[in-house]
């Protein structure tokens, strides 16, 4: 774990509180946190692939990004080895990620179904640091 996120407890959901120097690092930390919760985090493993997502604003972009990570894990039965945001704006994100086939690995997953808009927050503080909160439906 990189220390860029903290798990937030909630009755029916689980949340991530993310902190970083840049918005791109927030997205990277969010994907890493999700992969860890899903038991699908294998740092450095896999082949590189490019992913793009778009949404109406930065908060919705965070939800779309996490939903894309969940989709890839489920649809392609992969695990993740890393995330790197190449380009990020208020409405579009382009990133590279490492993915590998799950194979015979038994994953102990939190059972995340989707990212939610519940208490969603993405902001920059007066000192220039970025933070975000996102809750995941389990």
**d(C-alpha 96, C-alpha 108), whole Å:** 25
pLDDT above 60 (res 57): yes
Residue 28: closest CA among 80, 72, 105: 80
Pairing of strands 47-54, 5-9: unpaired
Lowest mean pLDDT among 12-21, 65-74, 93-102, 115-124: 12-21
- Give the C-alpha distances (Å, rounded to integers) separating 25 from 21, 34, 93: 7, 14, 12
What pLDDT, on a 0 to 100 scale, did the predictor assign at position 110? Answer: 77
Of 110 and 82, the structure prediction assigns the larger pLDDT to 82
Residue 106: closest CA among 7, 34, 39, 31: 39
What pLDDT, on a 0 to 100 scale, did the predictor assign at position 35? Answer: 97
3-class SS of residue 40? coil
Domain containing residue 123: 5-137
What pLDDT, on a 0 to 100 scale, did the predictor assign at position 9? Answer: 65
Q: Read off the CATH number of the domain in which 79 is found.
A: 3.55.10.10
- Compute the average pLDDT of residues 63-85: 97
- Compute the average pLDDT of residues 51-71: 98
Domains of the chain: total: 1
Q: How confident is the model at residue 22 (pLDDT cuts 50, 70, 90)?
A: very high
Q: For the chain, what percent of residues have pLDDT higher than 70?
A: 94
Model pLDDT for residues 89-137, shown as the tens digit of each residue: 999 999 999 999 999 988 888 789 999 999 999 999 999 999 999 999 9
**d(C-alpha 38, C-alpha 108), whole Å:** 7
What pLDDT, on a 0 to 100 scale, did the predictor assign at position 6? Answer: 77
């Amino acid at each position: 774990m990189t220390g860029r996120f903290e798990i937030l407890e909630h009755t029916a959901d689980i949340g991530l509180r993310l902190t970083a120097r840049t918005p791109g690092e927030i997205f990277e930390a969010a994907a890493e946190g999700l992969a860890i919760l899903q038991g699908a985090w294998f740092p450095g493993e896999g082949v590189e692939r490019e992913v793009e997502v778009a949404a109406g604003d930065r908060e919705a972009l965070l939800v779309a990004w996490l939903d894309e990570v969940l989709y890839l894990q489920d649809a392609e039965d992969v695990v993740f080895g890393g995330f790197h945001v190449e380009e990020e704006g208020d409405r579009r994100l382009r990133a590279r990620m490492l993915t590998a086939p799950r194979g015979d690995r038994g994953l102990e997953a939190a059972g995340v179904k989707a990212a939610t808009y519940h208490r969603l927050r993405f902001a920059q503080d007066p000192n220039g640091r970025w933070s975000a909160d996102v809750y995941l439906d389990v």
